[in-house]
Amino acid sequence: MALPGIAALRRPPRAASFILGAVLMLTALWTVGEWRARSAAADLEHAAEGALALHLAALLSGLDKHRSVPFVLARDPEVAALLRDPADPDRRRYIDHKLDLLNAEIRADVIYVIDGDGNTLAASNWSSGQSFVGHNYGFRPYFRNAMRDGLGEHFAMGTVSHQPGFYIARRVDAPDAPGVVVVKVRFEDVEAAWARSDSPVFVTDGQGVVILTSRPDWRFRPITPLPEETRRVLRESRRYGAAPLAPLPFATGGPEDAARVVLLGDGVAAEGDPGSHLLVAAPIPGLDWTMHILVSRVPVHQQVALTVIATGFAGLLLLFGLSRLQDWRTSLRERIETQQRARAELEEKVAARTRELTEANERLLREAEERRRAEVVARQARADLVHAGRLAVLGQISASIAHEINQPLGAIRSYADNAVTLLRRERADAACDNMHRIAGLTERIGTITSHLKGFARRTSGPVGVLNLEPSVRNALALMEHRIRRAGIRVEVDVPAVQVRAEPVQLEQVLVNLLQNAADAQDGRPAPRIAIRAERRGATCVIAVEDDGPGIPEAMMPQLFAAFHTTKAGSGGLGLGLSIARNIVETFGGTIAGGNRPDGGAVFTVVLECAP
């Protein structure tokens, strides 16, 4: 019998569970991987933006510092004086020295002064082999812009030094002395600082060409291919010297973020770096430049891998745990089912056994009731039988009793007749004597009838302890007439003992034995009956013996069986001994009959003796 709750515990087949688990696991891994990729990319971007902001701040502060120099020099009266009188060699030398000193202080590349025609009058590198003095820079955009607008800034390759630099030019604000003061800045320190970082940092100009960079080999290479026209213009202007302007092998876009992820191609990717980088850019205020930082996305991949592995491991652990739980549930379900089956079987067995026991009990009760009824019937039958036996005994002794009564009745008649005669003769005394005799005789009759009445009517009482001797006497009294008439010699030897019996029934037994003894000696000379009793331990043995012919051998096997008699002709029923045994057994005693060696029969009754 399966309970509904147990049915709910049934699990799907193992293969289905496995597939479901695998699908869930892969989905979870994919989701976690995606989430981790996004969050790690965001973290990386955040960090890159922070680094970029720092680099940008450093760059701007350097630029501002250098911008102040031409600003101040453009207002310097000595510079204006030089422009007014460029032929004065002392003045030129003086300014050369001054610029040299200033350059050493601010650590720019070169500081120089150009007149209105573009000729360099003085320069901080006046004494070096690559001195700018005497060179004409009238074609340079920074010069032209400064002459036109007052300020010109331009990044370009140096025509003399062949070193790239950022040129900051200021027009000298003196109408009579046109000219420009220029500071060429090289950013080597800045680039060296950038190079110390793992992530490449670079600045592109308005065309997207790298001009400042932590990776020198990237310089003057555009981050996206330049249109042919732009390349031509740049080459002709020699702004970046003879640089081929080959684009950096950056493949923009990727599976994750098309705009910001670049894949570094051969030659630019660091060794062991798969090349996927995040490109973060920020415009540089005041210039058409853009600063970039390229951060490797390896940490993102590592974190994603780590997270996926950890999640996978946790998932496997979870699956393992779930599988163990499943197994545990299965075994629990099986255990519960087994227990329920066992309990159901047990309950069934108990119910069957209870049914059997109930039926057996009912059968026993029925049998007990039947037995009880049978016993009542048997007891009643036995009592009836005993009473019938007693009446039979009475019937047998009634003739002699009638004779016994007739004799005093006859005497009473004669005494009465005599008394009448005597009264007529007025012999009152004699008549009175006769009356007394009559009274004595009626008393004798009364004694005889009272014996009979007691024997015939008295119903049996319970078994108890009684004196043996009065019962023997009563039995002999009932037999008295027959004994006397048959001239039987009676020997009595009964001590004063107490036995367990019922008086009327004990008398009945004794009368029966006396009757049989008398019957056996009917017509025989010198009949004799002896009644003896003696104590033997806890019992009392009562023996009734006679001098008759003894019990016939053929009678022996059924001596106490009912309806076995040798006296059928004289009205014997064969019930006397059967009833006697019945009575003695109800007293808890035994009865036996046998023949004496010297002739005659002897019957012994053994009864329980009172202490």
Detail the DSSP E strand segments found in 297-418: none
Q: Looking at beta carbons only, is 247 or 574 nearer to ligand ADP?
A: 574
Show contacts with ligand ADP in window 107-146 (CB under 6 A): none
Task: Show contacts with ligand ADP in window 171-200 (CB under 6 A).
Answer: none
Nearest distance in Å: CB 393, ligand ADP: 10
Do the Cβ atoms of 308 and 29 come closer than 8 Å? yes
CB count in 10 Å sphere of residue 441: 19
Residue from 113, 506, 520, 607 touching ligand ADP (CB under 6 A): that is 520
E strand map for 142-226: 151-157, 164-171, 179-185, 201-204, 210-213
Min. distance of Cβ 358 from ligand ADP in angstroms? 48
Among 551, 583, 591, 606, binds ligand ADP (CB under 6 A): 551
470 C-beta neighbours (distance < 10 Å), count = 13
**DSSP annotation string for 263-289:** EE-TTTSPTT---EEEEEEEEPTTSS-
Q: Give the C-alpha separation, 604 to 543, whole Å.
A: 4
Q: Which is nearer to ligand ADP, 146 or 514 (CB)?
A: 514
Q: Which CB, 124 or 521, lies closer to ligand ADP?
A: 521
Contacts of 219 (CB under 8 A, 6+ apart): 164, 210, 211, 212, 213, 243
Q: What count of other Cβ atoms lies within 10 Å of the Cβ of residue 263?
A: 16
Task: Give the nearest distance from C-beta 530 to ligand ADP in angstroms.
Answer: 12
CA distance 310 to 190: 41
Binding to ligand ADP (CB under 6 A) within 499-518 occurs at 516-517
Cα(160)–Cα(172) distance, integer angstroms: 24
**Which residue reads 């191609």 in tokens?**
265
Find the shortest distance in angstroms from Cβ 533 to ligand ADP: 18
User: Of the listed pieces 127-135, 353-361, 400-408, 552-560, which binds ligand ADP according to CB under 6 A?
Assistant: 552-560
Residue closer to ligand ADP (CB basis): 83 or 577: 577
Q: Which is nearer to ligand ADP, 323 or 565 (CB)?
A: 565
For ligand ADP (CB under 6 A), the number of binding residues is 19
If binding is defined by CB under 6 A, does position 601 make contact with ligand ADP?
yes
CB 124 within 8 A of CB 111: yes
Q: In this complex, which beta carbon is closest to ligand ADP, that of residue 389 or of residue 503?
A: 389
Given its phi and psi angles, is residue 262 left (phi above 0), alpha (psi -120 to 50 degrees) or beta? beta
Contact with ligand ADP (CB under 6 A) among 205, 404, 546, 547: 546
| Nearest-approach distance from CB 542 to ligand ADP, in angstroms | 15
In the region spanning residues 553 to 582, those forming contacts with ligand ADP, defined by CB under 6 A, are 555, 559, 565-567, 572-574, 576-577
Q: Is position 300 an interface residue for ligand ADP (rule: CB under 6 A)?
A: no
**Do residues 273 and 264 touch, judged by C-beta distance below 8 A?**
yes
Hey, CA dihedral for 66, 68, 69, 71, is it positive or negative?
positive
User: How far apart are the C-alpha atoms of 577 and 601, rounded to whole Å?
Assistant: 14
State which residue, 122 or 559, has the beta carbon closest to ligand ADP: 559
Closest-approach residue to ligand ADP (CB) = 576
Q: Between residues 124 and 578, which has the closer beta carbon with respect to ligand ADP?
A: 578
Segment interacting with ligand ADP (CB under 6 A) among 66-74, 159-167, 357-365, 546-554: 546-554
Q: Which residues bind ligand ADP (CB under 6 A)?
A: 516-517, 520, 546, 548, 550-552, 555, 559, 565-567, 572-574, 576-577, 601
